[in-house]
């Protein structure tokens, strides 16, 4: 990584293709986080939304990425300033397409494999609770996603969201 003010990378962090990771100032990457980046060159890859930074992770300033969190960014992940993720948070931008994958997920013939690629864009002042998951979509500003929630679609700004799929249960700030 280029020089940053107050970048802390704790023990056991794994970077796949670190050249695709852009980090702001005052970022703490906690123990055993996993970063998976790079463009996917598959012809059976359906782009659900056009990626803004396909294959990259961009992390804003003043962020804490919690212990054992996974950031799988083939579709691109952009995280705003003042981000916090609890322990075991997972962000996924690539998934198998269950409607077309008729021969499993590991075939010698690339024509048998089908994928969905969906970028994740996270606004400013977002907190993802422990063991929550984000599978594509836009998470607005000032969001708190409660523990164990699964976000599969966009969440509007100033929300506390919960559930599977996560939905707004109230405003975050009054």
Tens digit of each residue's pLDDT (9 = 90 or more) over 79-131: 999 999 999 999 999 888 888 777 777 777 777 778 888 899 999 999 999 99
pLDDT given at position 2: 59
Strand-pair category, 34-36 with 70-72 = parallel
Q: Identify which of 104, 65, 107 has the alpha carbon closest to the alpha carbon of residue 82.
A: 65
Cα 153 vs. chain centroid, distance in angstroms? 13
Measured CA to CA, the distance from residue 75 to residue 54 in angstroms comes to 5
pLDDT at 51 over 60: no
- DSSP for 44-70 reads TEEESS--SSTT-EEE-SSEEE-TT-E
* Rounded average pLDDT over 58-75: 97
Query: Could you report the per-residue pLDDT of 139-155, keeping only the tens digit for each?
Result: 999 999 999 999 998 99
Whether the predicted pLDDT of 64 surpasses 80: yes
Mean pLDDT of 37-57: 77
Give the pLDDT score at 76.
93
The pTM assigned to this predicted structure is: 0.91
pLDDT band at 40 (very low <50, low <70, confident <90, very high): confident
Which residue did the predictor score with more confidence, 42 or 75? 75
The tokens describing 47, both together, are 């782009």
- Pick the closest to residue 30 from 57, 58, 70, 2 (CA basis): 70
- The residues, any chain, with a CB within 8 Å of residue 42's CB and separated by 6 or more, are 110, 113, 115
Average pLDDT, the chain: 91
Instruction: Convert the pLDDT of each residue in 157-172 to its tens digit.
Output: 999 999 999 999 999 9
Q: Which residues contact 23 (CB under 8 A, 6 or more apart)?
A: 1, 4, 7, 29, 59
């Amino acid at each position: 990584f280029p020089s940053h003010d107050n970048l802390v990378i704790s023990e056991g962090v794994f970077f796949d293709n670190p050249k695709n990771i852009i980090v702001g100032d005052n970022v703490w990457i906690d123990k055993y986080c996993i970063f998976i980046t790079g463009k996917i060159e598959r012809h059976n890859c359906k782009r659900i939304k056009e990626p803004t930074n396909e294959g990259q992770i961009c992390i804003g300033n003043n962020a804490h990425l919690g212990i054992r969190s996974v950031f799988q960014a083939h579709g691109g992940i952009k995280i705003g300033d003042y981000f916090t993720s609890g322990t075991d948070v997972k962000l996924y931008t690539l998934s198998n397409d269950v409607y077309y994958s008729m021969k499993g997920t590991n075939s010698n013939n690339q024509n048998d494999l089908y994928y969905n690629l969906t970028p994740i864009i996270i606004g400013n002042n977002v907190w993802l609770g422990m063991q929550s998951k984000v599978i594509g979509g836009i998470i607005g500003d000032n969001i708190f996603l409660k523990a164990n929630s699964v976000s599969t679609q966009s969440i509007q700004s100033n929300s506390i969201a919960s559930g599977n799929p996560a939905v707004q249960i109230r405003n975050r700030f009054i």
